[in-house]
Amino acid sequence: MNKGRALRPGDLIGLLSVSNPVTDEERQCSVDVVEALGFRTVCGESLFHRRGYLAGPDEIRARDVNRMFADPDIAGIFCVRGGEGANRLPEMIDLEVVRKNPKVFLGYSDVTVFHLLLGQGADLVTIQGPMPYTEFRRDTFEGYVKEHFLKAVTKTEPVGEILPPQGDPAIQALVPGTVEAPLVGGCLSLISALMGTPWEIDTRGKILIIEDVGEQPYKYDRWLCQLRSSGKLQQCAGVVVGQCIDCTTDKPKMDIPLEEIFADLLVPLGVPVLLNVPFGHGKRKATFPLGVRALLDGNAGRFFLTESGVR
């Protein structure tokens, strides 16, 4: 896998959106919070445009990505927010430019499309973690979230063990066993949306990480069944379930708890499985480089990032 250089104070960070638009105030806020970390910033065209729920036309959003990877002065690229629309862009991304110019690429949620596209199409380690407008500006960024983020993007040593923030649920071992393998995955609904495309997830011999937000349990059931029917679940070496936020049903009498759905569909795989690992849409989250090796200990309920995501 290709890795971006570890970020240093004074580095130039490209800010863009591959998904939803931002207002002038939100754009300036994103600039301010990134520069408060000691970086310089340059804004892509996508932060100045709006087309309904999109940060401008597809061509503008894709051009931002291609230009920022090609620009040798830009050390890292941060998606300022997620939303919808990233799945319009894969055909327009110059993967050869990405391959020749590896750099930190940050985001989560809808940015899962780019984690799969760049990871599998350009062998790039990408960073699933907090985004400027979504998290950097919030009080909850200080402490756990900020420390994990900076360690992941500025240090060439492995992050090591991922422990939940104080007061959050403990990591739960659903299936015992131990495995060390590369990480792949992200937001489960976006993983599902890319099935049947050239960018569908490759889980062979990898630890699959999944999370989502605002979705009812039956949708997790549907998406996991799709991955099972396609063989993707059977091919993975382990599964790590992150923060599944706001996943209650609107039909309580017909509810199956999410934990039972995971037990029904993941336990029969016979690979180690962890629940409640702190990544995803929660307010307090760790930062995960995707494509690097991790250690899943389903015996002790522990999870380690054993390889750095930057060089």
Among candidate residues 46, 281, 307, 308, the one labeled active-site is 281
CB-count burial class (<10 Å; 0-12, 13-18, 19+) for 24 = exposed
Is residue 135 annotated as a catalytic residue, yes or no? no
Joined together, the tokens standing for residue 8 give: 């240093």
Joined together, the tokens standing for residue 92 give: 């327009």
Could you tell me how far CA 155 lies from the centroid of its own chain?
A: 19
Amino acid identity of residue 145, one-letter, is V
Give dist(CA 195, CA 204) in Å, integer. 15
Q: Rounded to 5 degrees, what angle do the CA atoms 301, 303, 307 make?
A: 160
Among candidate residues 30, 46, 109, 308, the one labeled active-site is 109
Shortest CA distance to 232 belongs to which of 203, 208, 261?
A: 203
Amino acid identity of residue 193, one-letter, is A
At residue 111, the 3 state secondary structure works out as helix
Is residue 26 annotated as a catalytic residue, yes or no? no
Is residue 211 annotated as a catalytic residue, yes or no? yes
231 and 263 Cβ atoms separated by less than 8 Å: no
Among candidate residues 26, 135, 211, 307, the one labeled active-site is 211
Joined together, the tokens standing for residue 151 give: 């360690």
Shortest CA distance to 104 belongs to which of 77, 68, 82?
A: 77
207 and 188 Cβ atoms separated by less than 8 Å: no
Give dist(CA 150, CA 115) in Å, integer. 19
| Total number of residues shown for the chain | 311
Strands (E), the chain: 12-16, 40-43, 74-79, 104-107, 126-128, 160-161, 172-175, 178-187, 207-213, 238-245, 273-275, 288-290, 293-297, 302-305
Are β-strands 178-187 and 293-297 bridged in parallel, bridged antiparallel, or unpaired?
antiparallel
The residues carrying an active-site annotation are 109, 211, 281
